[in-house]
Amino acid sequence: MHTISAHTLPVFAIGVSLLFALTLFIATFMLVRFSLQQPRQPGRQNLWWLTALVGVTCASFLAESLALITDPLRQGMVWPLRSCALLTAALILGWLVPAGRQLASLPSRTLLEKKNQQLTEELARIRQANEVIALSEAHYRLLMDTASEGIWIVDRIGRISFANPHLADMLGTTPEQVKGRALLEMVPEAERPDIITLLQRQQRGEAVRTLCHLLRPDGTLVAVQISSTPMTQGSATGSSLSVITDLSDQMKVQDELRKVAAELQQQVQGRTLAYRETANQLATMLEATRAQSRAYGILQDLSDMLQSCPTPNEAARVAGEFATRLFHADSGSIYIIEPGQARFRLLGSWGLQNETAETLHLNDCWGLRQNQAYPHNENQIGLRCHHLSIGPNRHSCCMPMFANGQATGLICLRSDQPFLGDNAERTAANQKIQRLFASNVAQFMANLTLRQTLEQASLRDPLTNLFNRRYFNEQLAIEFERASRARSPLALQMVDIDHFKRLNDRYGHEAGDRVLRQVSEVLTQSARAGDIVCRWGGEEFLILMPGLNGTSAKRRADEIRRRVNERVEVVGGTPVSVSIGVAAYPEHASDPDGLINVSDRALYASKGAGRNRVTVAVAVL
């Protein structure tokens, strides 16, 4: 019995040890395979330690089985092997305790499924947001591509990261060729400092607007306006978006306007500047003489003062003041030629008024005859001018004024002191001063006359000398506003010459022009002070009468119609008559255009009723 138990026990122990060894070997094999298939699995190092633990335990049981098989009587040797295996397993298990705690702290499956669902919803929201962003980007791209202005985006280092097609067309290139270029490369070298300043301001987050030129590939320049807005990224300023406006057409118009203005300015001020230069040259040559320097200084002041004179009468008064300072003339007169006549009329005078005539002709003055200054002393042997009536011990000097080679006026100076001295050089210097004085005054008078002529030409009808349509529209708006504020009436008459086209076709344009001038004279003579008469167009005229209502305006219209019948000459046996339409504010209209329209309708009513009559509007528009 003792022998059976001793043999049975090792067999049982060997069987159990082999079973455990086989189980642990399979577990070790499965762990190695799992570790190799999951190279990026978190905690892979701990998994290998677990595999080593299981392998060592397997080896201990296998060693125990082998020891029992080879020598069942050496069971005492098994315990040290088993103790070493268990000790090694305990050490590895102690090493894996933190990993076990980590595995124990992993969330539950329910929590993981909940987290997974939240992640799925978050991904759906992100996908929807991406679709909205893509749609917004498509809209943005469409807006950029179809914009009527050039648009570019410039990054922080001054390179163009986007350019729309309109900008490329403006520069004669393609968006791809513009993209990536440095902004400094696209402007002339002279304007690059301004562009550098623009980029610096953009980096500081400022909105900038500037004018510059951009270079096309063929080297030509295009004038543009750049309106730039910074595109911020958080608190930092990144790129900037700019709108580029082509100013080529505007610049052309401005250049034309500047050219026209320069030509007009040159016509008005050209000769004045030339005489200023002459005066400066003479002042330099004669600076050694105090009197001459003073004289040239006074002439310079004269030129400056004349430039600020708006009328010939004021210019004459200024010239008289300076003549007194230059030549010690206590009296004097300035004459100006009357247009279309060989007669000079008195424009202004100072001092004694009865020493010269109101008007004079060319042969009345020796200065005008000789085309040069004519001084005359009381004791001088010579002829006195016929237009003078001065007493004894009085001296005179007549200085003709010339502009553009023609005599335009006369300056007649009078004084108790002689204008001619004994010193020949001083006399010659005085004569130069006299000529310069007369030339400055003459040139300014000519320029002032030219300027007034140009102003009148822009406001007057050249045939009838009545105000034109442009001037009337301006004055109508002014008078209408004045009547509205003062709540006073404002009447308008529209006058039309009856059968004028038939008269013009039958008897010629010369007869038609003569009728237009005669009717214009009647209208002008019949107008009150403050009334505005204009030629509206063709044979139509307008008369604006502030302060009159419809009834009073009709009475005046009847008087005008009667005067036209009486004073305008008969053409080809046919008397000339007019039809008139009358309207008034606020009776018939509430605005300027309505007043013109209702008077026009009243005029057509007069024509429809047989012509040669006056019709007053009856309806309020």
- Determine, yes or no, domain membership for 254: no
CB–CB of 577/567 below 8 Å?
no
Give yes or no for residue 428 having a pLDDT over 80.
no
Residue 342 shares a structural domain with residue 428? yes
Residue 84 shares a structural domain with residue 199? no
Query: What number is the average pLDDT over the span 148-169?
Result: 83
- Determine, yes or no, domain membership for 291: yes
- Determine, yes or no, domain membership for 163: yes
CB–CB of 409/348 below 8 Å?
no
Side chain identity at residue 352, one-letter code: L
- Domain end (from 246, 274, 307): 246
- Domain end (from 104, 134, 155): 104
- Determine, yes or no, domain membership for 315: yes
Residue 335 shares a structural domain with residue 381? yes
Residue 236 shares a structural domain with residue 268? no
Q: Which CATH number is 592's domain given?
A: 3.30.70.270
Residue 289 shares a structural domain with residue 384? yes
**3-state secondary structure string across 340-407:** CCCEEEEEEEECCCCCECCEEEHHHCHHHHHCCCEEECCCCCCCCCCCECCCCCCEEEEEEEEECCEE
| Number of domains making up the chain | 4
Residue 476 shares a structural domain with residue 438? no
From residue 427, how far is each of 142, 215, 290, 424, 441 by CA, in Å? 85, 64, 15, 5, 21
For 62, half-sphere exposure in the C-beta direction (CA atoms, 13 angstrom radius) is: 12
Residue 22 shares a structural domain with residue 63? yes
Query: What number is the average pLDDT over the span 445-474?
Result: 80
Round to whole Å and give the CA distance between 581 and 565. Answer: 17
Residue 440 shares a structural domain with residue 503? no
- Determine, yes or no, domain membership for 119: no
Residues in the chain: 621
Residue 443 shares a structural domain with residue 545? no
> What is the pTM (predicted TM-score) of this model?
0.38
Q: What is the mean pLDDT of the chain?
A: 79
Query: What number is the average pLDDT over the span 232-257?
Result: 74
Q: Which CATH number is 414's domain given?
A: 3.30.450.40
User: Can you state the angle between helices 509-526 and 500-507, rounded to 10 degrees?
Assistant: 140
Q: Which CATH number is 161's domain given?
A: 3.30.450.20
Round to whole Å and give the CA distance between 331 and 416. Answer: 9
User: What's the confidence (pLDDT) of residue 206?
Assistant: 81
Round to whole Å and give the CA distance between 253 and 213. Answer: 17
- Kind plus residue range of the DSSP H or E element containing 617: none
- Determine, yes or no, domain membership for 128: no
DSSP 309: -
Residue 488 shares a structural domain with residue 377? no
- Determine, yes or no, domain membership for 460: no
pLDDT digits (tens, 9 = 90+) for 246-273: 877 777 787 788 888 888 888 777 777 7
Reading the block at residue 203, the tokens are: 């980096």
Residue 578 shares a structural domain with residue 489? yes
Residue 496 shares a structural domain with residue 446? no
**3-state secondary structure string across 456-487:** HHHHECCCCCCECHHHHHHHHHHHHHHHHHHC
pLDDT digits (tens, 9 = 90+) for 529-552: 889 999 998 899 999 999 999 999
- Domain end (from 180, 211, 246): 246
Alpha helix segments (H runs only) across 105-229 = 109-146, 165-171, 175-178, 192-203
- Determine, yes or no, domain membership for 113: no
Domain interval for residue 545: 469-616
Per-residue pLDDT band for 17 (boundaries 50, 70, 90) equals low
> Helix, strand, coil shares of the chain as percentages rounded to 5?
55, 20, 25
DSSP 182: B
